[in-house]
Amino acid sequence: MNKDILISVLLPVYRVNTDYLHECIQSLVTQTYSKFELLVLYEPSENDGIRECISSFNDERIKIVETNLKRWTLPASLNVGLRVAKGKYMARMDADDIALPRRFELQLDYMEKHPDIAVLGGSTQYTSGKSHDVGALMTSEERAIRLLFRNDGVAHPTAFFRTDFFRNNNLWYLEDKGGAEDYYLWSQVVICGGRIDCLKDKVLKYRIHDEQIVRRMANKIPELVNEVRIIQVKRYAELTDDEIQCFLDWDYSKEYNHSADQIGKIFNRIIEGNGIRNLYEPKTLKKVFIERWFSYAMTQIKEYHKWDLIRSSFFWKSFYPVNMLYILKHMIYKYLK
């Protein structure tokens, strides 16, 4: 591996707990791969103690970039970093998380060996000790298809970007998508033909606390997520407003009140559109749809005692025999253990 490749680390900092920030920076300056610039995207705030915290590290790789935004948002701050980054790669980091020691080494090595990958994530471990393997067992194509239903790109603070891909395709964070900015960005990456992958290796300790941005924006996130889902489904097929609403209501957080035939017809429209537009391998698309259908059907049974989806003739006829194989191999133990 070439040890002279520069990585630009994008670290947005705004009203963060300085103890968390110190742990975060300490985890970065002690990485096993040392050729990086740490861009601290700092939005000044009175008496926040952040400058003092950063200055306590005598490390020339740390560069404070004052964002001076009229209205601070995470995506706006990250766009400042995208503009000034000098590295061949960019690495995302949140100021309240902890990078595991080999994070940059592992991600750089993978990206150098796989030039077709635009964005690479990694598995995470909560600071409580629990592991979370975000999409590590999916293929890149499966991950792209699953963006139809939810944010299954990569865990945002683990993201490792290929800089040229972003600049050549004029990709930026959409600044009014705070709370779903990563979902929107992954959506644009796959639309531009980029591939997203994820390491099985754990690269980050993820901290959960009450002041997280995602918690502060919880009320806005569903609306923003639906905007991205609409962008995604329109890649496959032109749907009516009623059909789009039926598709958006396929949401794991609530009871589904449309018929299985209605959503089945929409799935068929997407499958047909994929065949016409040649977006993804048809077998892979069907595999993802089987997973989503069965998983959602089981949620409806467990939470709302509704059996319509699992009894649906569409499910059994459209995906047989693949659905039976999937259920037997992957799902029964998960839901009945």
At 181, list the tokens.
């900015």
Does residue 332 carry a pLDDT above 90? no
Q: What is the pTM for the complete model shown?
A: 0.88
> Are the C-beta atoms of residues 118 and 43 closer than 8 Å to each other?
no
How far is the C-alpha of 139 from the C-alpha of 162, rounded, in Å? 19
The secondary structure of 229-246 as a DSSP string is HHHHHHHH----HHHHHH
Strands 195-206 and 131-132: unpaired
Residue 150 to residues 143, 194, 211, 327, 334, Cα–Cα distance (Å): 10, 18, 24, 21, 20
Region 27-33: mean pLDDT is 97
Does residue 26 carry a pLDDT above 60? yes
DSSP 207: P
Q: What is the pLDDT of residues 231-240, one digit of tens each?
A: 999 999 999 9
* Nearest in space to 92 (alpha carbons), one of 16, 206, 5, 192: 206
Region 64-75: mean pLDDT is 88
Q: What is the pLDDT of residues 204-226, one digit of tens each?
A: 998 886 565 554 554 567 788 89
pLDDT at 292: 86
The helix or strand, by DSSP H or E, that contains position 270, with its residue range, turns out to be helix 260-277
- Buried (b) or exposed (e) across 4-19, using 16+ Cβ within 10 A? ebebbbbbbbbebbbe
Amino acid at 120: L
Q: Identify the sign of the CA torsion 216, 220, 224, 226.
A: positive
> Are the C-beta atoms of residues 145 and 291 closer than 8 Å to each other?
no
Does residue 133 carry a pLDDT above 60? no
pLDDT at 333: 52
